[in-house]
Amino acid sequence: MWFLGFVLLLLKTAIVLTILLGLAAYLILVERKLLGRFQIRFGPNRAGPFGIWQPIADGIKMILKEDTIPQGADRVVFKYAPAVVATVAILIAAVIPFSRDAILWGYDIPMVISDLNVGLLYVLALSSLSVYGVALGGWASNSKYSLLGGIRGAAQMVSYELPLGLSLVPVVMLAGSFSLVDIVNAQACYPFVVVQPIAFVIFLIAAVAESKRLPFDLPEAENELNAGYHTEFSGMRFALYFIGEYVHMMVLGALVAVFFLGGWRGPWLPPVVWLVLKALMVPFFLIWTRATLPRLRYDQLMHFGWKLLIPIALLNILATGAVMLWLRG
């Protein structure tokens, strides 16, 4: 029996990984195409029709590239830092429920790799861990640009971790559980974005900062720091940072869907399609933002996080609690 469960787990993991990495790879193409169209260009359109082979070509190129390690770099840390970013981003996908429970031959199969009862804390913990990849990668490169990028990344992600966590407290209060499956089930009548628009906005902004995207891309600010913390990385290690960033975008999209948009719930279409559609809304918004907004100054970034987002998130928790108490009578 345990063997069957093991096989099932492996099967689910394989499917989720394939879909997640495939989506992330094609998200790169979608981003380049969309950015092109935003700037009245075509974007990549040479590799196959509409450039559909572009991610594969890029992947092959990345694998075949020389793997350079700069002189004076901390070799061990330098080698493992990119893996941290990618691994952590992929691991978050383990707790995202992607469909209602399936019933096969009388067995109840939960459509989530792992229904942790502290799923939300697991997500936040992993989200914080990815800063290690950035900070260590920046430090290990033995380059001032990388170091500056790494330090900025660490400071920024620590600052935006707080509003990210605080904006989810009302969600937990409403759902009464840390489990992502329970949170989705609690949104059976209406998605939480209806009652928690402020938390939704705060989570979205903090998520943008977490995924180091414009206007919060100070750790990799191209025109100040070359490429920030991954300046010195090349070949597959650079690709790992890249994959990590795009998987992070997809996962954050899925998390926004789970926490605020009702997860896989939706009429007519199959649940998985609903989840993917909802999850893709966030990357699209991020790309749109990238085409629209300029980068924040560093003090503005800190000011915005500490003096605006955190107080509003705290007030939101207070108001949610008060309303819940009042409704209960």
Residue 201 as a binder of another protein (CB under 8 A): the answer is no
Q: Which of 112, 123, 176, 162 is nearest to 310 (CA)?
A: 162
Closest separation in Å from C-beta 229 to another protein: 28
Considering only residues 39-58, where is the footprint of another protein by CB under 8 A? 39-42, 45
- Spatial distance between the Cα atoms of 97 and 37, rounded to a whole number of angstroms: 33
Closest separation in Å from C-beta 34 to another protein: 7
**Number of other residues whose CB lies within 10 A of the CB of residue 26:** 16
Q: How many residues line the site for another protein (CB under 8 A)?
A: 14
Query: Which residue, 39 or 223, has its beta carbon nearer to another protein?
Result: 39
CA-to-CA separations, 157 to 1, 108, 135, 161, in angstroms, rounded:
43, 39, 10, 6
CB 249 within 8 A of CB 211: yes
Query: Which residue, 37 or 144, has its beta carbon nearer to another protein?
Result: 37
- Spatial distance between the Cα atoms of 145 and 33, rounded to a whole number of angstroms: 29
Residue 288 as a binder of another protein (CB under 8 A): the answer is yes
- Spatial distance between the Cα atoms of 29 and 272, rounded to a whole number of angstroms: 22
Closest separation in Å from C-beta 249 to another protein: 18
Residue 18 as a binder of another protein (CB under 8 A): the answer is no
Residue 303 as a binder of another protein (CB under 8 A): the answer is no
Residue 6 as a binder of another protein (CB under 8 A): the answer is no
Widest pairwise Cα distance in the chain: 67
CA R_g for the chain = 20
Angle between helices 119-140 and 235-260 (to 10 degrees): 150
Query: Which residue, 46 or 328, has its beta carbon nearer to another protein?
Result: 46
Binding piece for another protein, criterion CB under 8 A, among 30-38, 112-120, 148-156, 317-325: 30-38
Query: Which residue, 21 or 198, has its beta carbon nearer to another protein?
Result: 198
Closest separation in Å from C-beta 30 to another protein: 13
- Spatial distance between the Cα atoms of 151 and 275, rounded to a whole number of angstroms: 35
Tokens of 145: 């640009």
Residue 291 as a binder of another protein (CB under 8 A): the answer is yes
CB 218 within 8 A of CB 157: no
Binding piece for another protein, criterion CB under 8 A, among 35-43, 65-73, 139-147, 263-271: 35-43
Tokens of 5: 């469960």
Residue 293 as a binder of another protein (CB under 8 A): the answer is yes
Sole residue written with tokens 């950015």: 35
Q: Which amino acid is at 114?
A: S
Residue 36 as a binder of another protein (CB under 8 A): the answer is yes
Binding piece for another protein, criterion CB under 8 A, among 18-26, 59-67, 290-298, 314-322: 290-298
By CB under 8 A, name the one of 23, 24, 27, 34 that touches another protein.
Answer: 34
Q: Which of 240, 245, 234, 243 is nearest to 212 (CA)?
A: 245
Query: Which residue, 53 or 132, has its beta carbon nearer to another protein?
Result: 53
Query: Which residue, 197 or 270, has its beta carbon nearer to another protein?
Result: 197
**Number of other residues whose CB lies within 10 A of the CB of residue 169:** 17
Coil, strand or helix at 103: strand
Binding piece for another protein, criterion CB under 8 A, among 18-26, 36-44, 123-131, 310-318: 36-44
Query: Which residue, 44 or 170, has its beta carbon nearer to another protein?
Result: 44
Task: Write out the residues near another protein by the rule CB under 8 A.
Answer: 34, 36-42, 45, 288-289, 291-293
